[in-house]
Structure 1
Amino acid sequence: MSSISLGDLAQSFMLQRRSVSLRENMSRLTDELSSGQVADVREVLSGNHNYLTGLERSLEVLDSYSVANAEVTYFTGAMQTALDSVQTFGSDLGLDLIMAGGGPIGVVSGNPSDNARIQLQGIIKSLNGDIAGRSLFSGTATDQAPLPSAEDLIAQVMTVVAGQTTPEDIVAAAEAWFADPAGFDAMSYAGSTTALAPFVLSETERVTLDIRANDDALKELLLHTTVAALGSDPALGLDIPDQSKLFGITGIGLQSNQDQLTSLRAKIGFTEERIALISARNQAEGTSTEFARNTLLEADPFETATELESVQFHLQSLYAVTVRSSQLSLVNFL
């Protein structure tokens, strides 16, 4: 009867190879147990990566939508803040002008025209605001401010109302200029007449922000504020009663304009609500997609722990055999 045995060197190589294999398995199982995901994705998917690739692509797309959602949320929030300031300026000035229109100039502290100039500067500063270099109220012309300085706008309106002798005629001339496409829109408004491109927030949802500094509500605000700033200008030649009357007309106009500004802000508020709902849906979809991916690649912790214990036992047994083999010698055998 013949027998086949391994030489010492071959046996040493065999034990070493087995040791390396067991250590690799133990390292893989340890990683799977700590991460909760399988190490060999190809084996789990049986070579078919289409489903996993689809899930990962969906997650990447949802991440890009998340960035767009954050951008438009920031943008609309800045617009809302700017319009809040603008409405406050108009409301406060309107009350002061109404008080000034009810009696002598001294009824309110300071000169109403000077107050109107200060408020106009604040209004224009808010409407010329930008976020990360993108103008808020210029439409697609996001690289430039939509309105001129307060002094320039006052000078333009002064040219329009010059020669008018009554408060009613002054307001009427200013209204005609602000309403004329060849007037305010052509001479003062420096933004675009085109709205910003819609923000893509999901595969089916788009959000458009079409609020510019030449909106009728904002032009109405600028009209009455600018005319009020000219009320006490000597170039108009109005006496004190006519000045008071002009302040009263513009003050009432500013108070009436509050409803228009509220509607404008409500429009942005509705858009903000839509953005929040779309963002919540995207987050829910992202969570479910990530859960599906993790389930697909999930390693069973109990099975992994059992297999790891088995590998550790085999590795310890191999070490014991290796030690005993190294102690074998002809002297000991004899």
Structure 2
Amino acid sequence: MSMISLGDLAQSFLLRRSMGAVKSSIATLSQEVTTGRAADTARHLRGTLGPLAALDRSLSQLSAYARTTTDMQVRASATQTALGTLATQADALSTDLLAVSAGQTGTLTALGNRAEQGFLSAVAALNTSIGGSALFSGMAVDQPPLIAGEALLSRIVAVTNGASTARDAANALEVWFEDPAGFATEAWRGAAAGGGVPIAAGETARLDVTALDPELRETLKGLALGALINRSDQTSPDARAAFAGFAGEGLLAARSGLATLQGRVARVEGQIAEAQSRNSSESSALQIARTSMVAVDDYDAATRLSDAETRLETLYAVTARLSSLSLTEYLR
């Protein structure tokens, strides 16, 4: 019977290679025991990676929907807040403007100041931006939808000054707000409303309120008429009272339009919330399915780890034993 012996160098090489393989196995098994997931997914699934790839694609899409819906939720909430600011201005002023008379000079002045401040606040609300993206500019999100409040009010004064009566001034302002060459050209800086944004599989949501919408123009016009109490070149008590009456009637009429816009945005908010809930549930289910697909048997992994550690200890013992051999020990 022939015997094959290994030299010291070859034997040392084999021991180092065996030790390296066992250490690598221990590292892999330790990871699996700690995470509960297979370290080598392809080997664990025997090369059948199609279902896992499909799950990952779905989860990636749901993650994109989550970012989109969060952004839209913030924008919708800010839009609702801005509309609420305009509604508050209209509610607070309309009744008082309709109740004032020509003989109440001080009250007229105070109401004119309130209307002017309300107008400036309304323009500022419509020019609101979230994260550098304008809310009421349509697709032109990189710029505010309206020129600055003071500049817009100065333009309104210029349009109405020179009219023969307060009624003529109000009519001139009406025409200017409706004329494509008026408000839409001289005050508006936005663009057409954007299209729907995907928020779930097969579902889109659209926030399409812009500062050019008739409902918002009506509110601005009513506030502007109130500002003319003090800003117009017609300073007679009757003219000032007439401006107050026109403003009160305009704001009262505009309130229903604002309520319609608020309801429209509220429906979008509800749609977004429902989509977020569905997407979250679907994402949780897919995460569970993915975890189950790549999971390892905890007991089996722990057993194999223990066996690998035992093999490593044995290799260390053998190495130490071989290292202590000498000719004297061999001859004994």
Report the TM-score, using the length of structure 2 for normalisation.
0.89
Provide, for residues 279-323 of structure 1, a one-character-per-residue CA deviation record: whole Å limited to 9, x for no partner: 222222222222222111111111111111122223333333444
Q: How does 1:108-147 map to 2 (within 5 A)?
A: 110-147=109-146
Match of 2:238 in 1: 241
In the TM superposition, residue 274 of structure 1 has moved relative to its aligned partner by 0.8
Match of 1:22 in 2: 22
Distance verdict in 2 for CA 1:298–1:170, change over 3 Å: same
Amino acid at match of 2:86: V
Counterpart among 260, 272, 288 of residue 269 in structure 2: 272
Q: Secondary structure at the match of 1:200?
A: strand
Instruction: Say which SS state the counterpart of residue 206 (structure 1) adopts.
Output: strand
Aligned CA-pair RMSD: 2.5
In structure 1, C-alpha distance between the alignment counterparts of 2:162 and 2:20, rounded to whole Å: 100
What is the letter of the counterpart of residue 28 of structure 1? T
Shift of 1:65: 2.0
Moved more, 84-93 or 182-191: 182-191
- Aligned partner of 1:195 in structure 2 is 193
- Between 1:169-178 and 1:213-222, the stretch displaced more is 169-178
Separation (CA, whole Å) in 1 of partners of 2:232 and 2:312: 102
Give the drift of 1:258.
2.0
Contact 1:139 1:212 in 2 (8 A): yes
Amino acid at match of 2:171: A
Tell me, what secondary structure is at the counterpart of 1:282?
helix
| Distance change (3 Å), C-alpha of 1:263 and 1:323 | same
Q: 3-state DSSP class of the match of 1:113?
A: helix
Q: Taking structure 1 as reference, are residues 24 and 190 closer, same or farther at Cα in structure 2, changes over 3 Å only? A: closer
> Quick check: 1:138–1:145 contact (8 Å CA) kept in 2?
yes
- For 2:155 and 2:4, how far apart are their aligned partners in 1? 109
TM-score, normalising length from structure 1? Answer: 0.88
Q: Unaligned regions of 5+ residues in structure 2, if any?
A: none
The yes-or-no answer on 1:216 pairing with 2:214 is: yes
Partner deviation per Cα, 1:186-240 (whole Å, 9 max, x = no partner)? 3322222x11232222331111111111111111111111111112446225x31
Give the drift of 1:88: 1.4
Number of positions where the alignment pairs a residue of Structure 1 with one of Structure 2: 331
Going from structure 1 to structure 2, the CA distance change for 1:89 and 1:13 (only over 3 Å counts) comes to same
> What secondary structure, in the 3-state scheme, does the structure 2 residue paired with 1:230 have?
helix
SS in 2 for 1:235: coil
Which residue pairs with 1:31 in the alignment?
31
Partner of 1:76: 76
Matched, 1:225 2:223: yes
Structure-to-structure mapping, 1:89-108, within 5 angstroms? 89-101=89-101, 104-107=104-107
Distance 1:38 1:206, change over 3 A: same
CA shift digits 1:56-92 (9 cap, x unpaired): 2222222222221222122212211211122212222
Cα deviation, 1:102-138, whole Å, max 9, x if unaligned, reads: 8623347x53222211111111111111122222111
CA distances 1:132-182 after superposition (whole Å, capped 9, x unpaired): 222211112222222233343334333444454454444334323323333
Instruction: Give yes or no for contact 2:26–2:305 (8 Å, CA) kept in 1.
Output: yes
Residue 259 of structure 1 aligns with an amino acid whose one-letter code is S
Alpha-carbon distance between aligned partners in 2 of 1:90 and 1:322, rounded to the nearest angstrom? 90
Partner of 1:195, secondary structure, is coil
Any idea what SS the aligned residue of 1:16 has? helix
Q: Mean Cα displacement is larger for which, 202-211 or 95-104?
A: 95-104
1:309 aligns with 2:306: yes
Q: Is 91-100 or 297-306 further displaced after alignment?
A: 91-100
* Contact preservation (8 Å) 1:99, 1:107: no
Does the C-alpha gap of structure 1 residues 329 and 189 become closer, same or farther in structure 2, counting only changes over 3 Å? Answer: closer
For the 8 Å contact 1:148–1:188, the answer to whether it is kept is yes
**Distance change in 2, residues 1:331/1:157 (3 Å):** closer
Q: Percent identity?
A: 33
Contact between 2:225 and 2:246, CA under 8 Å: does it hold in 1? no
* Partner-residue secondary structure (3-state), 1:211: coil
Contact 1:25 1:311 survives alignment (8 Å): yes
Match of 1:300? 297
